[in-house]
Structure 1
Amino acid sequence: MILAGFLLLSVGAVDLVRQFVPRRWIGYLATLIVLLVLGSVSAAVLPMLAAIAAGAAWIWAMPAERDPRFGFWPAVVLALVCSLAVVWLGERRDAGIIGRSWQLDSPFGPISFDLALLVAGVVVFLLESGNLVVRAALTSEHSWSPDDVEVPHAAVRRDDTAAGGERPRGGFKGGRLIGPLERVIVFMLTLTAAYPLLAATLAAKGIVRFPEISKDGETGARAEYFLVGSLVSWVIALGAAFLVWWGVHS
């Protein structure tokens, strides 16, 4: 379990650094220090080293500025490794220095350090890394993108075109924020067995998107885009909930 927590935490952290930290090397250094400290105090040196290597490999295989080199397959490999780590390895009996003093209670019972790290890694991964995986899946399927919709010419300011800038594109701009929120909500509702609320949340997204999807015409490109993106995003959140659920009951 500790291996899965470290892997997800490392990958999720480097993606957050790439997206939100202007000087990435500072963010990478901070991530490295956090991983080193956590691995040292929890007697998890090997999982910590594996996580550092996985973070570096993820940056190379899933670049943020261009299409991924191997599609979404790095995410599939990561999911398999994390699943095996949780299902087969389970929770450790000795969590090192921090395990001797660690005490964290919840309404569902005590939470061990290994489980807490797994939950932290899962949540961090759901934020920005989930967006990268969804984008990789859409790219692999060559799906229509909102960037393919151009703003009407009348809406382009004269000074923009005169300055030689590209014509702005239309479409949806909130996906980068909606995606993480959606995955976190699905993750939490699944873990708490709030299935009616989960179904209502998923249905609400389709209702909100229906007016835009209905403009598809004969191609069905918009419907395919939202269907592929939504399903991949939901699978990520449900898979994360499964990992934590198994970790709790292992």
Structure 2
Amino acid sequence: MNYAIFLSILNLVLIARLRLIFRDQGASGKDLVIIGLLPLLILPFVQFNWSWLLLTVHLISYPFLMKWTEGNIHKLNRNRSLTLLWHILIAAILCSPLLNLGSNWLAQKVMHFLSWMFVPGQQIALRTVIVVQVAVAGLLLVINEMNILLRYILKAMGLESVGAQEDTVKVSEEEYSMGRLIGLLERIFIFIFVLLNQYSAIGFILAAKGVTRFNNFKDDRPFAEYVLIGTLLSTLLALIIGWGVKAVL
């Protein structure tokens, strides 16, 4: 399998999907255009053959699939997770020995240029490229995709996001968005600490979050339980991604 091409496609898709972070009511037309165009940047670096044509068809059809699935607000996070899995599956098949999607001369020229820029007189090893791409993919997954999965799991458990429904609002919209941003940063730090084997530092991150929410926890037990469940799930997902990346590296 051509892991370099597969990871390049995956990372471009994950970068484009960052537009979905605060799109709780579905992606806009502009979002879908960006989600559709950014992954196409891989095409000039892929060898032209039948696999290239299949990849092009897939990438062009991907935003239309997203538009169709974004229309169902009640199943938004589930659909977003499924579209990512669909994309990973198709990209994996195209990069497998079955279809043998590979890089072309332009990709090699870029590698030579990067080698000249960062390690003059040497050639960047393919493994180094793959290691960097895996680390970037892991980081992108914890930033956005794990948030999507977390929100889907919470809803499947019957726990609506606090502030997401008018009849269950316990915090302001601004505080709700701020809490999500805190969770995002929390997962990033946990992911980095796992890669650095600094597990004790994870405890400080969770303790800091608890301190900032102390008054809310004291006055509202259901809110405290919701935040606790969300924090534990978020931490678990970040740990899983971190361990997965470490296993590959």
Check the 8 A contact 1:36/1:48 in 2, yes or no.
Answer: yes
Contact 1:6-1:117 within 8 A present in 2 as well: no
| Unpaired stretches in structure 2, ≥5 consecutive residues | none
In 2, Cα distance between equivalents of 1:34 and 1:71: 23
Residue number in structure 1 paired with 2:194: 190
Partners of 1:59 and 1:232 in 2: CA distance = 29
Question: SS of the counterpart of 1:206?
Answer: helix
Aligned-pair identity (%) = 21
How far off its partner does 1:230 sit?
A: 1.4
Q: CA, structure 1 residues 26+169, in 2 after alignment: closer, same or farther (shift >3 Å)?
A: closer
Over 3 Å counting, the alpha-carbon distance change for 1:8 and 1:66 in structure 2 is farther
- Give the 3-state SS of the residue equivalent to 2:74 in structure 1: coil
Aligned partner of 1:202 in structure 2 is: 206
Match of 2:107 in 1: 98
Displacement of 1:190: 1.0
Shift of the 13–73 alpha-carbon distance from structure 1 to 2, 3 Å rule, reads closer
- Scaled by the length of structure 2, what TM-score is found? 0.63
Question: Is 2:45 aligned against 1:29?
Answer: no
Name the stretch that deviates more: 229-238 or 110-119: 110-119
Using the size of structure 1 for normalisation, the TM-score is 0.63
- Any residues of structure 2 matched to 1:75-224 within 5 Å, and which? 78=85, 95-96=103-104, 97-99=106-108, 101-102=110-111, 103=114, 112-143=128-159, 145-147=161-163, 148-149=168-169, 172-217=176-221, 221-224=222-225
For these two proteins, the number of residue pairs brought into alignment is 220
- Mark the CA change 1:57 to 1:144 in structure 2 (over 3 Å): closer, same or farther: same
CA distance in 2, matches of 1:247, 1:55: 30
Which range moves more in the overlay, 118-127 or 180-189? 118-127
Aligned to 1:68: 75
Q: Please state how far the C-alpha of 1:191 moved relative to its aligned partner.
A: 0.8
The answer (yes or no) to whether the contact 2:32–2:67 under 8 Å persists in 1 is: no
Structure number with the bigger relative contact order (C-alpha 8 A, sep ≥ 6) is 1
* 8 A contact 2:12–2:38 mirrored in 1: no
Larger % of helix: which?
2
CA contact (8 A) 1:12 1:121 kept: no
Change (3 A) 1:9 1:119: farther
Give the superposition deviation at 1:78.
3.4
Structure-1 separation of matches of 2:157 and 2:205: 26
Cα distance, 1:30 vs structure 2:
3.8
Does residue 230 of the first structure (1) align with residue 228 of the second (2)?
no
SS at match of 2:13: helix
Of 185-194 and 200-209, the range deviating more from structure 2: 200-209
Residues 236 and 13 (structure 1 numbering): CA distance in 2 closer, same or farther, change over 3 Å?
Answer: farther
CA change 1:62–1:29 in 2 (3 A) is: closer
Counterpart of 1:143 in 2: which secondary structure?
A: coil
Aligned CA RMSD, in angstroms, stands at 4.4
**Contact 1:216–1:222 (8 Å) recurs in 2:** yes
